[in-house]
A and B are shown apart, each in its own frame.
Chain A
Amino acid sequence: MTVDTASTVEPREPLASSRSSIWLLAAARIGVALMWIDNASWKRPPEFGRGEEPRMLYAWTLTGVEHEVFAPYAWLLDNVVLPNFTFFGWAVLIVEASLGAFLFIGLLTRAWALIGMAQTAVIALSTLNAPHEWYWAYLLMFLVHLMLFATAAGRYGGLDGVLRPIWRQAGRLTPLLEKAS
């Protein structure tokens, strides 16, 4: 017996089916952005906390070695990241400040949500086994970025929603831009 799947599948409801769900999705995206914005303040160049008494970003990176989560990653931190910390400090500041910036305005949201997931994984690999850390915090942080990616949250109350029709009209909505927003 064959089943005609095309006729049995119910049409799906649109993701944001009401005005309130659009605003709530935008509020969640802005909340995540504010988390990154808030935490940019303690990635202070040029030392990023490196010194006789390690502080801030340097101290947190050091926990990935002292309280190892994943041996190859701890080796990478110890042999590559910590000896070249100025470069990696700037990279972290630029990535996290940009995460806050782009998620706040909802521009290229899916691409930045992916970067947010990657950055969350990197942070977790450094801090997961540090004393008093709650591992669910990192899992939740990862999952909220997954939600922003899955819902393409910037299309609702974000600039992706404003710009995609304009890009499409001008023939500029390339496949890459289509996926990134």
Chain B
Amino acid sequence: MNERSCRRACLALGSASVASVVFVVEGLGDFRFMRVSGAALVIALVAGVLAMSAGGFARAWPAVTAGIGFVGAAVFQVISVAMGRDWLGASLSTASFWLGLGVGLIVVGCALSATRTGHDGRARHDGREKEEHGSS
């Protein structure tokens, strides 16, 4: 149950990143909550798909990797704005969004890893018990 929740959370966070590609459209006007273009588009797609794969294959490392990538991109975006540059084709709103996805994926990735370790440990323990009972 816990593992399934974590996998669904990774899928949801990854999907949110992929869905943010809609903000490429300038015609959204007031509903363009963040700017996504250029390198930001690649970050949204690559890290988003990585997060979704973490959910799909129940692996913690893609979630944590994508999370670190998002947090790094958010910090980089803030530095970019502070220096008056536009390196990523994003905005401070995009940085806020990436910060959320990043923190979320790191926390869920760690939780997924913990639940899987617990699950594997229990499975090994059950297997040993079965062997012991079988041989006696």
Partners in one complex: yes
Question: Is the CB–CB distance between B95 and A159 below 8 Å?
Answer: no
- Is A102 part of the contact surface with B, judged by Cβ < 8 Å? yes
Q: Which residues of A contact B5 (CB under 8 A)?
A: 161-162, 165
- Is B54 part of the contact surface with A, judged by Cβ < 8 Å? no
Interface size bracket, A side? 20 to 34
* A90 to B97 CA separation, bound complex (whole angstroms): 17
Question: Is the CB–CB distance between A100 and B96 below 8 Å?
Answer: yes
Question: Is the CB–CB distance between A37 and B111 below 8 Å?
Answer: no
Q: Take A38-B34, A45-B82 as given contacts and tell me if A166 and B97 are in contact as well, using a CB distance cutoff of 8 Å.
A: no
Q: Which residues of A contact B35 (CB under 8 A)?
A: 41
Q: Determine which of B1, B82, B92, B107 lies in contact with A41 in the assembled complex, contact meaning CB atoms within 8 Å.
A: B92
* A177 to B58 CA separation, bound complex (whole angstroms): 26
Q: Take A162-B6, A166-B111, A170-B114 as given contacts and tell me if A37 and B104 are in contact as well, using a CB distance cutoff of 8 Å.
A: no
Q: Take A45-B78, A45-B81, A166-B115 as given contacts and tell me if A101 and B6 are in contact as well, using a CB distance cutoff of 8 Å.
A: no
Question: Is the CB–CB distance between A169 and B92 below 8 Å?
Answer: no
| Chain B interface, >50% SS class | helix
Question: Is the CB–CB distance between B100 and A163 below 8 Å?
Answer: no
- Is A44 part of the contact surface with B, judged by Cβ < 8 Å? yes
* A38 to B97 CA separation, bound complex (whole angstroms): 9
Enumerate the 8 nearest inter-chain pairs by beta-carbon distance, A residue then B residue, closest first: A101-B100, A97-B96, A105-B104, A101-B99, A100-B96, A41-B93, A45-B82, A104-B100
Interface size bracket, B side? 20 to 34
Shortest beta-carbon distance from A90 to chain B in Å: 9
Q: With CB as the reference atom, state the residue of chain A lying closest to B33.
A: A38
Task: Return the CB mask of B1-29 against A: 1 if under 8 Å, else 0.
Answer: 11001101100010010000000000000
* A41 to B95 CA separation, bound complex (whole angstroms): 9
Q: Which residues of B contact A161 (CB under 8 A)?
A: 5
Q: Which of B93-112 contact A (CB under 8 A)?
A: 93, 95-97, 99-101, 103-104, 107-108, 111
Shortest beta-carbon distance from A100 to chain B in Å: 4
Question: Is the CB–CB distance between A40 and B107 below 8 Å?
Answer: no
- Is A120 part of the contact surface with B, judged by Cβ < 8 Å? no
Q: Which residues of B contact A100 (CB under 8 A)?
A: 93, 96-97, 100
Q: Take A159-B9, A165-B2 as given contacts and tell me if A104 and B107 are in contact as well, using a CB distance cutoff of 8 Å.
A: no
Question: Is the CB–CB distance between B2 and A97 below 8 Å?
Answer: no
Q: With CB as the reference atom, state the residue of chain A lying closest to B82.
A: A45
Question: Is the CB–CB distance between B96 and A101 below 8 Å?
Answer: yes
**Would you give 27 A-B contacts (Cβ < 8 Å), ordered by A?**
A34-B33, A37-B33, A37-B34, A40-B92, A40-B95, A43-B92, A97-B95, A97-B99, A98-B96, A100-B93, A100-B100, A101-B97, A101-B99, A104-B100, A105-B13, A105-B100, A105-B103, A107-B103, A159-B9, A159-B104, A162-B108, A162-B111, A163-B108, A163-B111, A165-B1, A166-B111, A166-B115
Question: Is the CB–CB distance between A38 and B93 below 8 Å?
Answer: yes
Q: With CB as the reference atom, state the residue of chain B lying closest to A101.
A: B100
Question: Is the CB–CB distance between B96 and A107 below 8 Å?
Answer: no
